[in-house]
Structure 1
């Protein structure tokens, strides 16, 4: 999520765009500090159109249908999967791969879908990890498929990995 916020998918966000995101978030934080309403951003669309992207369609198919019966306490369909504008930029400072070498002496298993928009992040983590690592790319799967499509989740691989590496 940190790299996605900072750089966008396939490094599509420029430095100027990132600075503009920060400026907008700072202005919104001032609004909220003085008692103004929170503003929500990005997240899963609430309706599909002919212009909807494949990623929007994939996330809609999970978060806006019965597939996802999960709504955290206090959340509504309008806010679920929508971070606040003022907090969304916290992702800019989230660097989960920093110090990966402190984890990677331990075995690491990365699982991604062949068609997942997030695959680049799994591949980057795999590249940065130490020697005891495995990358499993699930054929035909997208990002959200690995949430609940039990027929494509590689449970056999997960079981073998954990039985071999957990003591």
Structure 2
């Protein structure tokens, strides 16, 4: 595996904490892809710590929301890592800018592999957080990997559902899916002929006046100084257009009702995506161990408020959840 090139400078979209030691590491997944991560460790911490691996949002990098979550929770005593998924950011993998329900689920378990082998981590006390589209991946990983002792999914997207059915399931028909498949299949032919991969485009810029409010919210985060990052797909040219193919055909979260360990779903009351958390919670409620599953709805919050709003993200509740369940 090729050695990753990771920037030595602090280039996050949030200020660095003086309560936390920060370092950069890499680890590999089961497919041989080397992943880049930021480690956040409480200053003067000793012994084996509870640990949390964090990823997302979908199309973001570790210098954005996941890093903010990681630093905040490290201030509270956890050893945390925020990592770039395969094929994105500073992580390895070729071609670039590809997403996969399988490989990206595996990325979470690879982070657990890494944490479980650190001398300063209690291998029986590892949790994960998935933000936005990585919320769905986190639940998928928790269903398949019992080493994940507790899972938080924040402002979740189920990327299979939204890709296959459209927003609010408006395109949920064989006819619409077959039209999308035909379009993407033609793109594959063109990509092969061109020797390169067309990009789907990041967040719309400029935003049309009649755009839905959630598109305006995405723009406010990804395209302004609030959250823009040069390596972020959403801030720039987006995913490979053909990444959507695997999500149409491979449903995420089919077995999340079999998650035995605790799960906390967090979503904004005003988020356009709230229906994803409600659907996931319904599966968990009818699963093997509903007693340790919880849905927390944040009054007045929209989807992107849970990316970076320190006055909105319920870090006290997240801290309490992991403290209780990682032991």
Normalised to the residue count of structure 1, the TM-score between the two structures is 0.88
Name the residue aligned to 1:61. 220
Q: Residue 261 of structure 2 is aligned with which of 91, 106, 109?
A: 106
- What is the CA-CA distance between 1:46 and the residue it aligns to? 0.9
Q: Residue 90 of structure 1 is aligned with which of 238, 242, 246?
A: 246
- What is the CA-CA distance between 1:37 and the residue it aligns to? 4.8
Supply the distance in 2 between the matched residues of 1:2 and 1:36 (Cα, whole angstroms): 27
Q: For the structure 1 residues 18 and 59, does the alpha-carbon distance in structure 2 shift closer, same or farther, using more than 3 Å as the test?
A: same
**Structure 1: runs of 5 or more not aligned:** none
SS at match of 2:218: helix
Q: Could you list the per-position Cα deviations for residues 26-64 of structure 1 after superposition, in whole angstroms to 9, with x for gaps in the alignment?
A: 111011112255333264111123212111101001011
- What is the CA-CA distance between 1:114 and the residue it aligns to? 0.6
Normalised to the residue count of structure 2, the TM-score between the two structures is 0.47
- What is the CA-CA distance between 1:7 and the residue it aligns to? 1.1
Supply the distance in 2 between the matched residues of 1:49 and 1:139 (Cα, whole angstroms): 28
In proportion to residue count, which structure has more strand? 2
Tell me if the contact between 1:9 and 1:117 (Cα under 8 Å) persists in the aligned partners: no
**Structure 2: runs of 5 or more not aligned:** 1-158
Name the residue aligned to 1:116. 271
What is the root-mean-square deviation in Å for CA atoms of aligned residues?
1.9
More deviation in 83-92 or 36-45? Answer: 36-45
- Higher RCO, 1 vs 2 (CA within 8 Å, ≥6 residues apart): 1
- What is the CA-CA distance between 1:94 and the residue it aligns to? 4.0
Name the residue aligned to 2:324. 164
Supply the distance in 2 between the matched residues of 1:10 and 1:77 (Cα, whole angstroms): 24
Name the residue aligned to 2:25. none
Supply the distance in 2 between the matched residues of 1:9 and 1:162 (Cα, whole angstroms): 32
Name the residue aligned to 1:146. 306
